[in-house]
Amino acid sequence: MADPQVPETLEGWCLLHQVFRVRWDEWRALTAEDRAVAIDEAVASLSAMDRGEEGTTVLTTVLGHKGDLMLIHLRRDFEALQAAELSIAQLRLASHLETNTTFLSMVELGMYEMTAIIHARLRERGLAPDSSEFAQAFEAEMAEQRRRVAGRLFLEVPPGRYVCFYPMNKRRGEQVNWYHLPVEERLRLMRDHGKTGRRYAGRVTQVVSGAIGFDDWEWGVDLFADDPLVFKKLIYEMRFDEASALYAEFGPFYVGLRFHPCELPRFLQGDVPPPIPA
C-alpha cells in the first residue's frame, strides 16, 4: 500500500467482454417463427441491460473468424457480471452461439504520476511511510483522487462506429522486465507513452482495464473510433515508444462495428447493422 515502488490504481466499471461465433447454419435451419421468438427475447434482454448508473452492454460485430458478435458488459460489481453472463447463457439465441473467448477486468486508471506526488507530499508533511498517520493520509488522498476521476472510472461508453479490443501484458523477460525497473524509470516511460496517445485525442477514445488476478493477460484495451485506420496508425506509432517497444506484449485483436441492440434482427439476417445515430 505504502510501497512507493507500486503505483496506485483506481478502479471503476467491472467489465466482461464476450466474443461469440454465430452457428449460422443452425440458425438459418430454424423456422422463421423460432428465429423471431429468439430474436425478440434477445433484443428485449439486451435492451434491458442499458440501465444507466448500473451499467450497460455494448454490442459489436466482429470481423474475421474469431467471432461474429462481441458483447461488452459494464457493471458495478462481479455479481452483476455473473448475472449478465448467466442471463445471456439462458437466451434461446445462446443455443446458436459459441463462445470463442471472454475477458474479465475492471476499468483502471494507473496513478503513476499521482502516487509519486502523494508520496512526496506526505513525506514533506513529515509523515513516516510506515506510520498509520501516513496510511490514513494516503487513503484520504486516494479517496479524493477517486472523486476527482469518478467520471473516467464510470465513464459513458465513448462514441465511435468501430471498436478495437485487445489484451496486453508488460513484459517479464529474463533481461527486459518491467516489474524489475525502478519506479522512476517506469514513471518516465509511462509519461512518454501517454504523449503518443494524446496526439490522437479527438480521433480515438481509449479505455484501459486491469485484469491482474482476474484473467490471463494483465490489461485489456478498448479503442473507439469512427475510422478504423486510426487504430492502425495509433498502435503502430506507439509500437516505437520505448515503453511499448521494449515492454509491451500484445494478445489477439478483435475489431468490429458497434450497433444498437434493436438492430440485432438485421445482423441476424446477415446484413451489416447500421451505426448508432449520434
| Per-residue binder mask for its own copies (CB under 8 A), 108-137, x = binder | ------------------------------
CB 23 within 8 A of CB 96: yes
Among the listed residues 277, 276, 268, 271, the one whose alpha carbon sits nearest the alpha carbon of residue 22 = 268
- Grid coordinates 468490429 are at which residue? 256
Residue 206 is a binding residue for its own copies (CB under 8 A): no
In the residue annotation, 166 being an active-site residue is answered as yes
Residue 162, φ and ψ in degrees, nearest 5: -105, 140
How far apart are alpha carbons 93 and 113 in whole angstroms? Answer: 46
Taking the least distance from each CB to its own copies, the nearer of 5 and 136 is 5
For its own copies, which is the closer residue by CB, 102 or 145?
A: 102
Nearest residue (CB) to its own copies, 62 versus 122: 62
Q: Segment near its own copies (CB under 8 A), from 1-9, 112-120, 124-132, 143-151? A: 1-9
Q: Which is nearer to its own copies, 25 or 124 (CB)?
A: 25
Cα 9 to Cα 146: distance, rounded to the nearest angstrom:
10
Q: Which stretch binds its own copies (CB under 8 A): 36-44, 47-55, 121-129, 215-223?
A: 215-223
* 154 contacts its own copies (rule: CB under 8 A): no
199 is a contact residue toward its own copies (CB under 8 A): yes
CB of 242 to its own copies, least distance (A): 8
Contact between 263 and its own copies (CB under 8 A)?
no
| Residue 67 and residue 113 in contact, taking contact as beta carbons nearer than 8 Å | no
Is 185 a binding residue for its own copies by CB under 8 A? The answer is no
The correct pick among 37, 63, 155, 208 for binding its own copies (CB under 8 A) is 63
In sequence order, which ranges of 90-228 are alpha helices (DSSP H)?
A: 112-124, 132-148, 150-153, 183-198
Catalytic site residue from 166, 200, 247, 254: 166
Identified binder of its own copies from the candidate list 52, 202, 213, 277, rule CB under 8 A: 213
Which residues 65-94 are close enough to bind its own copies by CB under 8 A? 65-66, 68, 78-79, 81-83, 85-87, 89-90, 94
Place of cell 486516494: 142
Give the span between the Cα atoms of 50 and 14, in whole angstroms.
15
Show the binding pattern over residues 238-257: x = contacts its own copies (CB under 8 A), - = does not.
Answer: -xx-x-xxx-----xx-xxx
Asked if residues 200 and 138 have their Cβ atoms less than 8 Å apart, the reply is no
List all residues 6 or more positions away from 33 whose beta carbon is below 8 Å from its beta carbon. none
Q: Which of 159, 177, 185, 226 binds its own copies (CB under 8 A)?
A: 177
Please give the angle made by the CA atoms of 191, 196 and 201, to the nearest 5 degrees: 110
Measured CA to CA in angstroms, residue 155 lies from 40, 74, 131, 176 at distances of 29, 10, 35, 34
Minimum separation from the CB atom of position 78 to its own copies (A):
5
Rounded to 5 degrees, what are φ and ψ at 248?
-90, 135
Active-site residue list: 166
